[in-house]
Amino acid sequence: MTREKLRIGLFGYGCVGQGLHDVLNSSNGFKADIVKICVKDRAKKRRIPMTNFTYDKNDILNDPSINLVVELIDDAAEAFSIVSTAMKSGKNVVSANKMMVAKHFKELVELQKKYNVSLLYEASAGASIPIIRNLEEYYDNELLYSLRGILNGTTNYILTKMHNEGIPYSEALKGAQEKGFAESDPTLDVEGWDAKYKLCIITGHAYGLFLDPEEVFHYGINKVSEFDVKYAREKGFKIKLVPYVGKTNDNTITSFVLPRFISPDKYLYNVDNEYNGVIAEAAFADKQFFCGKGAGGHATGSAVLSDISANSYGYRYEYKKYQQGTVSNYTRQHKIEIYLRYNDEKEKDLFGFEEVSEYFCGRFYKYVIGVVNLEKLYSLRKQLPLLDVFIVNTGRKINSQKGADKEIQEEQI
């Protein structure tokens, strides 16, 4: 198949935009012209001549010679405006904006079909890990039991530093910011929003269900304490932020984002610092593990470059699981065992524990381990940021969980 000559209009020249520029210039055998770069900060000094830049998005969107728009900005609402306008103009698009894709997933899929264009966004879900392409091609007709993993390099770096060096959360976060792994406002990362948006994107390709992010429970690491890390270490665990999606029966799935205890015999145990890891468990391929850098301009830029290259061959996502109608329902009626560190007994009672296997009450800390319903956690989602608690999924198999043994056993992998 012959490659189309690409003339690129690039939106954004931050960490990822510059990373893309570097990997594109270093790529052998593949050349594409970046015709113009649109940025918003007129005062910011750039490392390349200012003649490469514009401050008017229409200089790119209305240029008929530009046949590929690459969107790498932070503003999800503006990103959707740019991407949708470009597609309506017949331009193919590559994006790394996970919030934009997750919030407008179904609409973006329909725009691609209506205007006969391609939108590729590999970099939005796993940085350097090609998980979307694998779901689209390798697992296109495979029954997937579950997908889970580490999808946020910022939180993984923070938790690694806390575990390995015994430093407090605030110090580990500061280190992540100094290395460029965390933004000055780290809310999207540390509160679990970023991981949830990525999980929603993966779910669309794995199961063909386009979830509203607001319907998916997420909980981050910003309340983690040195006590929690010490407890995990004494038990032989590490704490990782782990998004999960999996089948509960033939046509229903559930999903959530929670910190999780990981034991040394698990794939994710040695995925440290800014690295990401994804585990796919399928009916025929069994378990497969993907690992790669999850933060940094060059890692993400490499995924963007892969999409640019694929676009030059006319590649498009086919959304095969969506076409097949693999899954039709989503549920939060799913039991999980959690570790809850708390101070106030009234706050503990909010969680509605159905079983309790361990309880500790000390002078400064209290914790309980027991079974709760995911629906109960979801009902508390607006209260949780105000509570002095920290929640961890223990990962323990729940024997009373409805579903096939295979679907239950994923909790142990």
Residue type, 318: E
- The length of the chain is 413
Give the number of C-alpha atoms closer than 13 A to the C-alpha of residue 255, restricted to the C-beta side. Answer: 32
Contact 38, 9 (CB under 8 A): yes
Contact 101, 85 (CB under 8 A): no
Residue type, 406: K
Measured in degrees and rounded to the nearest 5, phi and psi for residue 149 equal: 165, -165
Q: Which phi-psi region, left, alpha or beta, contains residue 147 (left: φ > 0; alpha: ψ -120 to 50)?
A: beta
Contact 201, 101 (CB under 8 A): yes
Contacts of 127 (CB under 8 A, 6+ apart): 153, 276, 292, 293, 294, 295, 296, 299, 300, 303
Q: Does 113 qualify as catalytic in the annotation?
A: no
Measured in degrees and rounded to the nearest 5, phi and psi for residue 333 equal: -80, 80
Q: Which two tokens stand for residue 10?
A: 């690039």
- What does each C-alpha distance from 221 to 19, 257, 283 come to in angstroms? 28, 11, 32
Active-site option among 198, 223, 293, 348: 198
Q: Which two tokens stand for residue 161?
A: 């530093």
Residues with catalytic annotation? Answer: 198
